[in-house]
Amino acid sequence: EAQVTQNPRYLITVTGKKLTVTCSQNMNHEYMSWYRQDPGLGLRQIYYSMNVEVTDKGDVPEGYKVSRKEKRNFPLILESPSPNQTSLYFCASSLNWAGELFFGEGSRLTVL
């Protein structure tokens, strides 16, 4: 089954404790991206990747890092989480940068 898998789905952590949210797709998609969704602000793009070893900033990249060492995986790294990074995070992939998007189920992160 074609899917985008995110883990963890729910996480409560404390300020400054590094964490990684994983994202994996099994569709051989070139394009992968991360978004955060906040009430009243909607979805905003954090980072995206056009292909292996190619990543670029979206609209809200501060406080986040990404890597794309393999085509199927695109982890989101929070080196030193802060409470303003409490949010619902979505990973998505598509065949290319203008293709149909496939979203993961979302990861709800709370930073205390």
Partner 1 sequence: KNEVEQSPQNLTAQEGEFITINCSYSVGISALHWLQQHPGGGIVSLFMLSSGKKKHGRLIATINIQEKHSSLHITASHPRDSAVYICAVTVGGNEKLTFGTGTRLTIIP
Tokens of 10: 């729910």
Q: How many whole angstroms separate alpha carbon 60 and alpha carbon 66?
A: 13
- Candidates 25, 33, 85, 87; binder of partner 1 (CB under 8 A) is 33
Closest CA to 56 of 79, 32, 39, 36: 32
Minimum Å gap between C-beta 75 and partner 1 is 19
The reply to whether omega before 8 is within 30° of 0 (cis) is: yes
Minimum Å gap between C-beta 109 and partner 1 is 16
Restricting to residues 37-96, name those near partner 1 by CB under 8 A: 40-45, 48, 50, 56, 58-59, 90, 92
Q: How many whole angstroms separate alpha carbon 9 and alpha carbon 91?
A: 11
Nearer to partner 1 among residue 10 and residue 14 (C-beta): 10
Nearer to partner 1 among residue 12 and residue 54 (C-beta): 54
Residue identified by tokens 């303003």 is 84
Residues forming contacts to partner 1 in the complex (CB under 8 A) are 31, 33, 35, 40-45, 48, 50, 56, 58-59, 90, 92, 97-106
